[in-house]
Chain A
Amino acid sequence: GQQLNQSPQSMFIQEGEDVSMNCTSSSIFNTWLWYKQDPGEGPVLLIALYKAGELTSNGRLTAQFGITRKDSFLNISASIPSDVGIYFCAGRGGYTGANSKLTFGKGITLSVRP
């Protein structure tokens, strides 16, 4: 099945650094989402974006919905050890019917060195 493009597969940063990750798609999505997955847990929603060009923040996290509706990026500022995990982007076409399913990227594993 289709998956969104996330790369690289892994990122290693120093505690306190900022990190950016982006996500691209060959298809248009009307909603972009960023989830974080910790070991043994399901994905947890971090940020949701609903409008092309929208920039949204949640604490140290900032995400943007690309103008073309085919991409999004997530920025984490001043990283801390608990930011370690797998970050997934996901796109959704709509809220009802077949459009309500989520299409995910492969995820980026983030490691933070103390």
Chain B
Amino acid sequence: GAGVSQSPRYKVTKRGQDVALRCDPISGHVSLYWYRQALGQGPEFLTYFNYEAQQDKSGLPNDRFSAERPEGSISTLTIQRTEQRDSAMYRCASSFFGLAGERSYNEQFFGPGTRLTVL
């Protein structure tokens, strides 16, 4: 596809369950970012990858959150033992790595997000 895709678009789960959120970046994009967006807020950084290597996970709130990108393409964000406070929109973005050509071409393109609701 042409853009970043995420699945599922909506996920409702019960407190204590594990969830896995998937992101499929734009073809050719080396860098992949995860953000979390609460209602009425802007996206907040969670973690990011270049190829399969996790470069920065400083935004992950606690050790229940983890992410992987084993083949340098699709990424999965996993939340274990979900809590109600984990409810939010989870957004994925991808970009080229570093600078290549026209500058704005290197910016992050966002997917539609996964709306997670923990009951």
Cβ-based interface call for A78 (8 A): no
Chain A residue total in the interface (Cβ 8 A): 28
Knowing A40-B112, A97-B55, say if A102 contacts B98 (CB, 8 Å): no
User: Hey, what's the 0/1 contact readout for A68-98 against B, CB within 8 Å counting as 1?
Assistant: 0000000000000000000010100001111
Knowing A42-B111, A43-B110, say if A48 contacts B103 (CB, 8 Å): yes
Taking a contact as CB atoms under 8 Å apart, the answer to whether A106 and B33 are in contact is: no
One of B13-21, B38-46, B78-86 at the interface: B38-46
Kindly identify, within residues 61 to 119 of chain B, every residue whose CB is under 8 Å from any CB belonging to chain A: 91, 93, 95, 97-99, 103-104, 106-113
Of B31, B58, B91, B112, the contact of A100 (CB 8 Å cutoff) = B31
Taking a contact as CB atoms under 8 Å apart, the answer to whether A98 and B56 are in contact is: yes
Residues of A in contact with B (beta carbons under 8 Å apart): 1, 3-4, 9, 33, 35, 40-45, 48, 50, 88, 90, 95-98, 100-107
